[in-house]
């Protein structure tokens, strides 16, 4: 092609490129439908081999890389859909949507972007050389190593680099958390949780697709769809084993119960729900029955109040940013918890749940809290804030 450019001009080069695209993808451009269909059939066979636990069939599609890692995961569904293919000679890169469902936990499939490196053998068959998370997509637990699984009465715990004894301990905590949350929240929710325990903080960050610095000191987070539809993938509670491991027995239970509360309240949590309410309510459920006094459970806020630094307003969403100073983040969580504790004490636990649901039922943030305060608690935003500040002074001063 280069030797003809001066004589034939750009039009001939472009025509030749179009003629060659079905054979070599001309410079890594999108491959023709025939190659895409071949790769789709290859990935269909690879998915079937995973579901059938057929290692020989899996190896017939290419690299073994993740077959062993997935062996313990109870899968009900696994499929790929090719969304793009770029070919250069005997190699290609496929972009695909992976959809999988964990048996007994996911009412609908989880979706994840994947990138697959492919090669073509002399007989014209494509093979998978490697698979990895697509750019901008989070890693899956089995990308980090062989997964071990422990099933509890109300939980499934999946871990990498963790002993079965450690995973059983997580399952026991989750199995205590689920009925505790059900008693507090009521209503209908799945009544079971999926807990992911990576090997390290870096592994946790990989599962969340974020830098490790964002979660240093954070014991666990929950992922899921706020205002989730009825058929949505189960939330995942993702543990930071480094921060979680330094907690005492009570702290570990509080954290798992807190995160389980997020799972239970997910459908009622919407863009209208402020973080002081969603995080405060999760902490309120988490601390129920723990025996922790306000000053014990809210040491940073207790210190601030004793020094005359009474917060002027309820915490904003920005106050809950993971990248914030640890003490400032603690102030936000503690302030939200005490706001929910005040509602439960003054108006009752049932009203606290009604207030939470009423806020989330609004279509947008503006006016949601104010409307629920008036309709459910019979108070105003200004009065509620004043009562909360007085409550902090009385409980922590």
Cα atoms in the Cβ-side hemisphere of radius 13 Å centred on 89? 1
Q: Are 364 and 273 within 8 A, CB to CB?
A: no
Residue 397: per-residue pLDDT: 82
Q: Two tokens at 191?
A: 């009544």
Residue 325: per-residue pLDDT: 85
Whether residue 20 is predicted with pLDDT greater than 70 in this model: the reply is: no
Whether residue 3 is predicted with pLDDT greater than 70 in this model: the reply is: no
Cα separations in angstroms, 339 against 281, 285, 333, 392: 9, 13, 10, 9
Q: Which residue has the tokens 């997020």?
A: 262
Residue in 261, 271, 66, 119 with CA at minimum distance from that of residue 182: 261
| Pairwise CA distance, residues 132 & 114, whole Å | 6
Mean predicted lDDT score pLDDT of the chain: 90
Mean pLDDT of 73-98: 97
Whether residue 81 is predicted with pLDDT greater than 50 in this model: the reply is: yes
| Pairwise CA distance, residues 172 & 253, whole Å | 10
Whether residue 370 is predicted with pLDDT greater than 60 in this model: the reply is: yes
Q: Tell me, which fold does domain 138-262 have in CATH?
A: Zincin-like (3.30.2010)
Render pLDDT for 251-304 as a digit per residue (tens, 0 to 9).
999 999 999 999 999 999 999 999 999 999 999 999 999 999 999 999 999 999
Whether residue 23 is predicted with pLDDT greater than 90 in this model: the reply is: no
Q: Is 57 helix (H, G, I), strand (E, B) or coil?
A: helix
Mean pLDDT of 31-60: 93
Whether residue 77 is predicted with pLDDT greater than 90 in this model: the reply is: yes
Render pLDDT for 114-168 as a digit per residue (tens, 0 to 9).
999 999 999 999 999 999 999 999 999 999 999 999 999 999 999 999 999 999 9
- Strands 155-160 and 193-197, by their bridges, are parallel
Whether residue 4 is predicted with pLDDT greater than 80 in this model: the reply is: no
Cα atoms in the Cβ-side hemisphere of radius 13 Å centred on 327? 6
Q: Does domain 31-137 have CATH number 3.40.50.2300?
A: no
Residue 8: per-residue pLDDT: 35
Alpha helix ranges (H) inside 198-248: 201-208, 241-245
Whether residue 11 is predicted with pLDDT greater than 90 in this model: the reply is: no
| Pairwise CA distance, residues 61 & 129, whole Å | 9
Whether residue 26 is predicted with pLDDT greater than 50 in this model: the reply is: no
**pTM of the predicted model over 0.85:** yes
- Specify the higher pLDDT residue, 187 or 90: 90
How do the domains of the chain map onto residue ranges? 31-137, 138-262, 270-397
Q: Is 132 helix (H, G, I), strand (E, B) or coil?
A: strand
Residue 84: per-residue pLDDT: 97
| Pairwise CA distance, residues 263 & 39, whole Å | 37
Whether residue 231 is predicted with pLDDT greater than 90 in this model: the reply is: no
Residue 209: per-residue pLDDT: 94
Whether residue 218 is predicted with pLDDT greater than 90 in this model: the reply is: yes
Residue 341: per-residue pLDDT: 98
Whether residue 323 is predicted with pLDDT greater than 80 in this model: the reply is: no
Whether residue 388 is predicted with pLDDT greater than 90 in this model: the reply is: yes
Mean pLDDT of 64-69: 92
Instruction: Report percent pLDDT > 70 for the chain.
Output: 90
Residue 311: per-residue pLDDT: 96
């Amino acid at each position: 092609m280069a030797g003809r450019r001066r004589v034939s001009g750009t039009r001939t080069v472009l025509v030749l490129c179009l003629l060659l695209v079905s054979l070599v993808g001309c410079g890594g451009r999108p491959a023709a439908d025939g190659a895409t269909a071949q790769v789709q059939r290859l990935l269909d066979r690879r998915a079937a081999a995973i579901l059938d636990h057929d290692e020989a069939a899996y190896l017939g599609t290419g690299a073994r890389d993740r077959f062993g890692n997935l062996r313990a995961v109870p899968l009900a569904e696994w499929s790929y859909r090719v969304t793009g293919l770029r070919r250069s000679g005997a190699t290609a890169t496929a972009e695909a949507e992976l959809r999988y469902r964990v048996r007994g936990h996911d009412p609908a499939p989880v979706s994840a972007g994947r990138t697959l490196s492919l090669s073509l053998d002399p007989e014209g068959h494509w093979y998978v050389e490697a698979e990895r998370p697509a750019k901008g997509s989070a890693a899956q637990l089995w990308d980090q190593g062989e997964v071990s699984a422990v099933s509890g009465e109300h939980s499934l715990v999946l871990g990498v680099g963790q002993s079965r004894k450690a995973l059983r301990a997580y399952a026991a905590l989750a199995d205590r958390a689920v009925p505790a949350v059900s008693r507090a929240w009521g209503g209908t929710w799945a009544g079971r949780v999926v807990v992911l325990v990576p090997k390290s903080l870096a592994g946790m960050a990989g599962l969340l697709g974020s830098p490790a610095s964002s979660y240093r000191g954070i014991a666990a987070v929950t992922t899921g769809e706020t205002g989730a539809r009825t058929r949505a993938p189960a939330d995942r509670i993702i543990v930071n084993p480094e921060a979680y491991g330094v907690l005492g027995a009570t702290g570990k239970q509080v954290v798992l119960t807190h995160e389980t509360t997020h799972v239970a309240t997910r459908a009622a949590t919407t863009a209208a729900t402020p973080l002081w309410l969603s995080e405060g309510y999760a902490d309120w459920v988490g601390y129920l029955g723990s025996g922790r006094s306000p000053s014990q459970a809210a040491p940073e806020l207790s210190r601030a109040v004793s020094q005359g630094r009474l917060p002027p307003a309820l915490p904003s969403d920005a106050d809950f940013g993971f990248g914030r100073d640890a003490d400032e983040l603690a102030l936000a969580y503690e302030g939200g918890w005490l706001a929910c504790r005040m509602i439960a004490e003054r108006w009752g636990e049932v009203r606290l749940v009604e207030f939470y649901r009423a806020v989330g039922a609004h279509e947008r943030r503006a006016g949601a809290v104010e409307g629920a305060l008036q309709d459910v608690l019979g108070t105003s935003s200004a009065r509620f804030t004043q009562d909360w500040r007085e409550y902090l002074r009385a409980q922590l001063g």
